[in-house]
Structure 1
Amino acid sequence: MKINFWTVFNQTLILFLLLLAGFIIKRLKIVDDHLNKNLTNIIIYLTLPALIINSMNYDFSFERLSKLANVFIITLGIYLLMILVSYLLVPFLSKEQSEKDIYQFILIFSNAGFMGYPIVNVIYGSEGVFLAAIYNLVFNIMLWTLGVMIMSRSHSKEEGINFSQLINPGIISIAIGLFIFIFSIKLPTAISDTLEILGHSTTPLSMLVVGSILAQVKLTEIFYNWRLWIITIVRLVILPVIVLVMLKILPWDFDILVLGISVILTAMPAAANTAIFASEFDGDAALASEGVFLTTLISILTIPLIVYLI
C-alpha cells in the first residue's frame, strides 16, 4: 500500500492548527478559565464517553477475531514497554513529583484516539479504524486506571490506590461499548448518530482547551526545556521504532495491517488527555500543555516518517 506523505502530514497539521486556534482565542481573551473548566467537564463526562462507545459500535464476527486478538495482545505488550521506560527514565529527569507525573503520563499515553483515528482512517480505511478501536480499548482502560492514579497521586490525601476513582465515565463507557460490540446490538439511528456527532466533537474541543491552557505559559519556556525535548524524542521516535523492530523480529505471523496500526498509534504525540486530566485533577496543567504542544508540533514531521519506515 502506497501512502502519500503529504496526506498524513496534512492530517497531523490539522490537529496542531486546532490547538493553535485555542491558543489564539485565549490570548485575545475571547474565553476565560471558567470556560476551560466547563469544556474539560464536557469532554470527560460527555463527548469522550460518546467517542469510546461509538468506536466499539461494530458487528462481532469470528472472522475478525484473530486480528482483534493480535492487536489486543500486542497493545498490552506496548503498554508494558511504555510503562517500563517511563519508570526507568523519569526519575532521572526531575525530583518534583508534579513534573514526574506529567512526564510519565506523556511517555505512557499517546494521542491514539483524537489523532489516531483520523490518521489511521486516511491510511487504512474503515478496517484500520476498527482495529484502532481495540488499541484504544486498552488505551482507555489504562487511561482511566493507571492514568487517573498518576495524575491524582500528588494531590491525593489517601495512601495507595483510590479505587473509587476507577469508577468513572471512561470505564463505564468502555463497559457499555464492549457490551454493544460483543452482542452486536444495533443502536437506534438517532442514538448512534448522536453518539457519532458528540464523539467527533471531542477532538476539536480537546485541542482548543489544550491551546487555551498553553496560552497561559511562555512559549520560549517550551523550547528551552531540555527535559521535555528528551520526553518528546522518546515518545515520537524511540518508542515506535522499538515497537516496529520488535514486531519485525518476532516469530509471529500476523497481518501487516496489525503491525501498521500498532506502530502508528504508538507514534502519536502526547495524549490531549495529558492537559485535560492535569486540569481536572489539579496537576501541572501548564507543563502538560507544553508537552502536548511540543510533541504535536514535532509529530507533524515524525508521523509521516514512521509511516514511511513501516
Structure 2
Amino acid sequence: MDFFTVLDQIVILFLLLVVGYWARVSGALDRQGIQGLTSFLVRFALPAMIIESLQVPFTDQLLGQGEEVLLLALVFYLIAFVVAWPLPRLLGVTGLGSGTYQFLLAFPNVAFMGFPVISAIFGKGALFYASMYMLPFNLLIFTVGILMLKRTGGGLSDLDPKILLNPGVTAVVIGLIFFLTSFTLPGPIGGAVTLLGDLTTPLSMIVIGGVLAEMALKSIFSNWRIYVVSAMRLLVMPLLTWAILRSFITDPLMLGVPVILAAMPSAANAVLLAEEYKSDAELASQGVFISTLFCIITIPMIAELVT
C-alpha cells in the first residue's frame, strides 16, 4: 500500500471542506444555500452515485462473490449496531444528539472515502465488492440511520412509512434491478447519471465545511465525546470486524474489503441527513471532521493488518 496515495485522498477531501468553510465565511454560501445543496445531494446526487456504482456486467461468479460480500456487510452492521446502541448512555448523552453519536459510530464513509482507498490498496477490480457492500449501507443509512438521527430523549419518534420510500432506498432497488438484469443505461442518460453522481463527494465536503463555519472554532475541538467516538470508529470497529471475520474468511480480498471499509471515518451522510431531517448537524459535522482528520494515521495501520 502506498501511504501517500491514501494521504492524497484525505488531503483532497480536506481542501474541499476548506472551500465550503470559506464560502460560508465569505457569504458566498448562506444558511439557505446549505439547506438547498443538502436537499439536492440527498434527492439527486447520492441516488445517482448509487445507481452508477452498480452499472457492472452481471456474471454468476460476480453474483456469488457479491452475495458473500453482502453477508459480510450484514455481519459488520450487526456488530456496529450492537456496539452503537448503548453508546449514548455510556457517554452520558440524552436528547437529539444521542442518535447522532450512534450514527457517527455505526456508519463509515464507504463511498466518499472508502471507494478511492479500496482502489488504492486492492486495485480498481475491488470496487465492485465495495459497491455490493454499499447495498446494505444505503438501505440501512436511509432507514435505521434516519431513525437514529430523529431520536429524541428516551425513544424514537414515530416511524413515518415515507422514510422507507426515500430516494436512497429507491436508488438501491433500481441499481440492484439493473445489475441483476444486466441493464445498462443508454449513453447520454448513463453519462448524465455518472456526472450527477460525481458531484456527491465535492458537494458533500463543501456542505460539511459550510456547517463547520457556523460553529465557534473552539467548539469543534473541545467535545471530548467526539474523540471517544472517533477512536471507536477508526480503530475498535475495524479491529473487531477483523477479529470476527478472520476465523472463517480465508480470501485476503474478501477479508480486506470489509475491514478497510470498517476503518473509514464517520460517513459524510451524517451531516447531509442531519440537515435534511432537522437533527444535530453541528455535532455530525464535528464527528465527520475529527474522524477524517485522524484517519490519516489509522487507515495505514489497519491496511497493514490485512495486506
Instruction: Name the TM-score class by shorter chain.
Output: over 0.9
Match of 1:287 among 283, 289, 298: 283
Match of 1:105 among 103, 106, 110: 103
Name the residue aligned to 2:126: 128
Q: How far 1:263 moved relative to its partner? A: 0.8
Name the residue aligned to 2:270: 274
Distance 2:120 2:192 in 1: 23
TM-score by length of 2: 0.95
Letter in 2 for 1:268: M
Q: How far 1:58 moved relative to its partner? A: 0.9
Letter in 2 for 1:233: A
Name the residue aligned to 2:255: 259
Q: Show CA shifts across 1:130-187 (max 9, x none).
A: 10001111100101110111122339xx954222211110111111101100000121
Give the SS at the match of 2:56: coil
Name the residue aligned to 2:144: 146
Name the residue aligned to 1:240: 238
Distance 1:94 1:269 in 2: 23
Match of 2:6 among 8, 26, 35: 8
Q: How far 1:94 moved relative to its partner? A: 3.0
1:221 pairs with 2:212 = no
Distance 1:87 1:12 in 2: 29
Letter in 2 for 1:149: L
The answer to whether the 8 A contact 1:12-1:119 is kept is no
Q: More deviation in 280-289 or 118-127?
A: 118-127
1:195 pairs with 2:193 = yes
1:177 pairs with 2:175 = yes
Name the residue aligned to 1:39: 37
The answer to whether the 8 A contact 1:121-1:129 is kept is yes
Letter in 2 for 1:295: S
The answer to whether the 8 A contact 1:121-1:128 is kept is yes
Distance 2:236 2:199 in 1: 31
1:81-100 equivalence runs, <5 A: 81-100=79-98
Q: How far 1:261 moved relative to its partner? A: 0.9
Q: How far 1:71 moved relative to its partner? A: 0.9
The answer to whether the 8 A contact 1:9-1:301 is kept is no
Alpha-carbon RMSD across the aligned residues, in angstroms, is 1.6
The answer to whether the 8 A contact 1:116-1:268 is kept is yes
Q: How far 1:74 moved relative to its partner? A: 0.8
Give the SS at the match of 1:233: helix
Runs of at least 5 residues in structure 1 that lack an aligned partner in the other structure? none
Q: Show CA shifts across 1:192-232 (max 9, x none).
A: 11111111110000000011001111222232211111000
Match of 1:74 among 69, 72, 96: 72
Q: Show CA shifts across 1:270-306 (max 9, x none).
A: 1111111111111111111111111111112211221
The answer to whether the 8 A contact 2:271-2:281 is kept is yes
Distance 1:221 1:34 in 2: 23
Letter in 2 for 1:296: T
Distance 2:278 2:158 in 1: 18
Percent of aligned pairs with the same amino acid: 38
Distance 1:12 1:159 in 2: 36
TM-score by length of 1: 0.94
Equivalent residues, number: 305
Letter in 1 for 2:248: P
